[in-house]
Amino acid sequence: MPTLVEQIRNTGIKSGDILLVHSSFKSLGVPDPEEFILALLEALGADGTLLMPSLSYQQEPPPVHRTNTTPSCVGFLSEYFRKRAGTVRSLHPTHSVCGIGYQVHELLDTHRNDSTPCGQHSPFNKLFYQGGKILMIGCGLRPNTSMHAIEEYVQPSYLFGAPMDYLITDAQGHTFNKTYLTHNFKGYVQRYDRVRDTLGDEGLQTGVIGQAPVHLLDCEILFEKALAALRKNPLHYVDREL
């Protein structure tokens, strides 16, 4: 049976890649999250960069965010990675990203300049221009945060809600207030699984890692094709709630 590293490489991940991972950790059938992270890092090599979303839009109370302690609300592996020694976290109250590796500071450090969830300075947006890849592990194609970065180019009517003032404490302990636009989506259901039809056989690979079905997306191709679909129909990747 192939090792975890071999399975990861068989999906199309190469040494030197910038990889953003969304996961359902239980689906892997791997008991130790550290074993899996080390396998990812081995596959990416010394020149690679590993990223995971550390979203915190469910934190209590909503207007307070502390980079070093506010937990991720998007799964076990994301929160384990956030707390792991050596992990860096971007500064954003609801849509931060954690990472480690060769280009981590280039990708994460400017996120503090955005005032929207996935703006031009965010790692989600930078993936499109730096040859990034997105690995979806056991979670299908719907929970793809990078799609919000594409939506920001079009700004469909459902995307943004009211601005909110947050009290932020950054990784160095500096505290300040900043106003951000928040997501809305009221009355709509996200259907980012439709990228399967958008991409076809180009820019989307499938495979298995551990016991989990996985999807690997090429960010450059995703950006080009999904943006074209949204410009043609701004509601392409949502359904109205019944």
Look at the block and give the residue holding tokens 């954690």: 98
Q: Which residues contact 218 (CB under 8 A, 6 or more apart)?
A: 133, 202, 203, 204
pLDDT tens, position by position, 110-169: 999 999 999 999 999 999 999 999 999 999 999 999 999 999 999 999 999 999 999 999
Residue 129, judged by CB atoms within 10 A of its CB (0-12, 13-18, 19+), counts as exposed
pLDDT tens, position by position, 74-97: 999 999 999 999 999 999 999 999
> Based on the structure, what is the number of domains in the chain?
1
> What does the alpha-carbon distance between residue 164 and residue 182 come to, in Å, rounded to a whole number?
7
Expressed as residue numbers, the domain containing 206 is 4-240
